[in-house]
Amino acid sequence: MAEGLTWTVYDANTMTQADIYGEVLCAIGENDPRIVGLSADLAKSTKIARFAEKFPGRFFNAGIAEQNMFGMAAGLAKSGLIPFVSTMAVFTTMRAAEQVRTDICYQNLDVKIIATHAGISFGQAGTTHHCTEDLAIMRAMANMTVISPADGIETANAVRACVDYPGPVYMRIGRGFEPSCYGEEKYGFRIGKAVEMHPGSDITAICCGITVLQAMEAARHLKETDGLSVRVINMHTLKPIDREAVLSAVHETRRIITFEDHNIYGGLGSAVAEVVASSGKACAFEIVGIPDCYSLVGYPEDLYHHYKIDMDGIVEKIRETMGKDFEEDDDWEDEV
């Protein structure tokens, strides 16, 4: 871990996740000569430019050529280095999907991908720049670790943690200023270990990325207004998923609802559903995200509201799911 570098709420609230990533990478690069950086004409937007300025000899701009960039990253990793690669999520996981899969994942290489503008965080740009498929695609690649940090502080932790975490890592971050949900860095971040952000026993909201803070606020609100006890889990690592955290939620709350800035298919909701289904336990279950469509255009806050992944939407969806029945008996006749 890089010394002398801590992030306060103040920093996290005035810097984007990407800003923090850029700084942390510089700090890591200072002590670790294995770190190299790559971008595809988006060094400034993804903030890896900080690293580029500090270590010009260890940074390579591939130009607007993502497939070549990920191929080069694989080559750099094969030579013994640890490339950090940054472009927008959409160009990472779709334009260069096969390079990521065949050159990087297949060979189980130490390439750390920090992809920005994920989900609908660049809402104004339209579908070509939205990325609501990445978690599904990345989850399906063997060897890949998939992380969606909740805020800047967690981004700092996750970036540091992935340096020595073996194999390829895909981390998705947003574009804008996401307010912080953590007060400080030392909450025991570990890849693959979910964090309980709010205790609860009536229902569990499992979240990642921008929905974590929104769900925490929704939980506080529902406690006051409805007397509901909502557990909020930050599933920052989608793969490998924290099965324990999901299974305790099934067992202890019997109701689970997931929230993500991603298509409802293949992302966090699906990952949680896989664990729930194989547990064999009955559980009310709901997945909230982008409902298998190409998102509307607009500023992210408006879109998060529209797709019910902001606080208001989360409150509404949790209330709905509280009213939803699940069957403990085996009388399924009326359902089929």
Partner 1 sequence: MPMPEFELQTLKEKARQLRTDIVDVTFWAGGAHIGGALSMVEILVILYYKFLNIDPAQPEWPQRDRVVLSKGHAGVGYAPLLARKGYFDFEMLRDFNKFKSPFGMHLDSLKVKGVDVSTGSLGHGLPLAAGLALGARVQKQTWRTYCILGDGECNEGSIWEAAMAISHYKLTRVITFVDRNKYCVDGATEAVMGVEPLADKWRAFGFDVLEVDGHSFAELEVAIQRAQQAETRPVVIIAHTLKGKGVYFMEDDVKWHYGGLDSDALARAKQSIDNMTAGKT
The option from ligand TPP, partner 1, none interacting with 182 (CB < 5 to 8 A, set by class) reads none
C-alpha distances out from residue 225 to 107, 216, 218, 222, Å: 52, 14, 10, 5
The H-or-E segment that residue 2 falls in is none
The option from partner 1, ligand TPP, none interacting with 110 (CB < 5 to 8 A, set by class) reads none
List all residues 6 or more positions away from 136 whose beta carbon is below 8 Å from its beta carbon. 262, 263, 265, 266, 267, 270
Amino acid at 237: T
Nearest to 122 by CA among 77, 79, 91, 158: 91
Collapse the DSSP code of 96 into the 3-class scheme (helix H, G, I; strand E, B; otherwise coil) and give the result: coil
**Virtual torsion, Cα 138, 140, 144, 150, nearest 10 deg:** 50
Asked if 299 touches partner 1 (CB under 8 A), the answer is: yes
Nearest to 171 by CA among 152, 185, 197: 152
Asked if 117 touches ligand TPP (CB under 6 A), the answer is: no
Asked if 41 touches ligand TPP (CB under 6 A), the answer is: yes
133 is catalytic: no
The option from ligand TPP, partner 1, none interacting with 124 (CB < 5 to 8 A, set by class) reads partner 1
Tokens of 94: 């779709």
Nearest-approach distance from CB 155 to ligand TPP, in angstroms:
21
Catalytic residue among 66, 154, 217, 286: 66
The option from ligand TPP, partner 1, none interacting with 302 (CB < 5 to 8 A, set by class) reads partner 1
The option from partner 1, ligand TPP, none interacting with 136 (CB < 5 to 8 A, set by class) reads none
Asked if 95 touches partner 1 (CB under 8 A), the answer is: yes
- Structure-token match 């700084």, residue found: 23
| CB-nearer residue toward ligand TPP: 49 or 232 | 49
Tokens of 65: 């050529």
Asked if 319 touches partner 1 (CB under 8 A), the answer is: no
Asked if 91 touches ligand TPP (CB under 6 A), the answer is: yes
| CB-nearer residue toward partner 1: 187 or 294 | 294
Nearest to 169 by CA among 262, 242, 73, 273: 73
Q: Which stretch binds partner 1 (CB under 8 A): 36-44, 140-148, 190-198, 277-285?
A: 36-44
- Say if strands 82-86 and 112-115 run parallel, antiparallel, or are unpaired: parallel
Asked if 95 touches ligand TPP (CB under 6 A), the answer is: yes
- Structure-token match 């990533």, residue found: 21
C-alpha distances out from residue 17 to 14, 173, 264, Å: 10, 7, 24
Measured in degrees and rounded to the nearest 5, phi and psi for residue 328 equal -90, -25
Asked if 98 touches ligand TPP (CB under 6 A), the answer is: no
The option from ligand TPP, partner 1, none interacting with 315 (CB < 5 to 8 A, set by class) reads none
Asked if 91 touches partner 1 (CB under 8 A), the answer is: yes
Binding mask 43-72 for partner 1 (x = CB under 8 A): xxx---x-----------xxxxx-xx----
| CB-nearer residue toward partner 1: 24 or 49 | 49
Q: What residue is closest to ligand TPP based on CB?
A: 41
Collapse the DSSP code of 327 into the 3-class scheme (helix H, G, I; strand E, B; otherwise coil) and give the result: coil
| CB-nearer residue toward partner 1: 129 or 193 | 129
Collapse the DSSP code of 268 into the 3-class scheme (helix H, G, I; strand E, B; otherwise coil) and give the result: helix
Going by the DSSP 8-state scheme, the letter that residue 294 receives in this structure is P
Asked if 124 touches partner 1 (CB under 8 A), the answer is: yes
Tell me if 300 sits within 8 A of 132, measured CB to CB: no
Tell me if 47 sits within 8 A of 32, measured CB to CB: no
Looking at 25, 42, 150, 256, which residue binds ligand TPP (CB under 6 A)?
42
Site residues, partner 1 (CB under 8 A): 39, 41-45, 49, 61-65, 67-68, 90-91, 95, 123-129, 296-299, 302-303, 306
Task: Provide the binding-site residues for ligand TPP, judged by CB under 6 A.
Answer: 41-42, 64, 66, 91, 95
Active site residues: 66
